[in-house]
Amino acid sequence: MAAETRPAAPPPKLPPLREVIAAHGLQASKALGQNFLLDEQLLDRIAAIPGPLKEQPAFEVGPGPGGLTRAILRAGAKLVAVERDHRCLPALAELDQAFPGQLRVISGDAMEVDARAEAGESAHIIANLPYNVGTALLIGWLSAEWSPLPWWSSLTLMFQMEVAERIVAQPGGDHYGRLAVLSQWRSDARIAMKVHRSAFTPPPKVMSAVVHITPKPAPEGVQLKHLERLTAAAFGQRRKMLRQSLKGLPGALDALGAVGIDPQRRAETVSVEEFVEVARVLGGL
């Protein structure tokens, strides 16, 4: 006789986020780069971007009053959230009680927390990032050790639209630069969702977008340090020809020649794959 399968317990009924914010006297802090999202359907859509999260490790930065947090928990993840705003901790403690065993809140600065040690291997990082530290956190995660993949499974991150466009940019446009190369040389990056400024409280001055990044094995024979030096020099003087912008980087012009790239081109025309090829040669010189 087949074992009886019990239906999954329904998610706990939670008060509207506006009530939580009012009850705890919370206001978004400009100094902390906070903008709260209150639309629960939108938050559930963001939490669905990484794919099924049931029993999966997840990591969130800057949960604030817990809007995205509750969406991630509803999806069934085992979540570690880092919050530096002490005012928000009581609201997050209520979520800990509503989802027993699923949430652990760290009171601290995400720039100083070892996300890998706290969240564990293969964690999905999902966050409405504070605008003032978002890019720095992203670069830290993209610069992680790859062997053959990084410790995280995916990045699902809210950015200002301009930053999102820089992450996914293709050669030939003004948005294309170092951040695009760093995001794409061993990862796939896409804009998964655009979010209107009116969805936030208070509304920011600019539009936002959710970027989804999934890692892939790094190209063989290429070290991040060589790619970083190469793109720093190339895009540091992006309007100049490569023969000018790269002349101060030892071996760079020889590497260009070895790959067959015309030194009269500008950095913004060089594809991610071409930068990878030049960095591979540069590392072998």
Q: Is 132 annotated as a binding residue?
A: no
Give the span between the Cα atoms of 170 and 188, in whole angstroms. Answer: 12
Q: Is 128 annotated as a binding residue?
A: yes
Helix axes 67-74, 40-48, angle to 10 degrees: 50
Binding site per annotation, positions: 35, 37, 62, 83, 109, 128
* Residue positions forming the annotated binding site for S-adenosyl-L-methionine: 35, 37, 62, 83, 109, 128
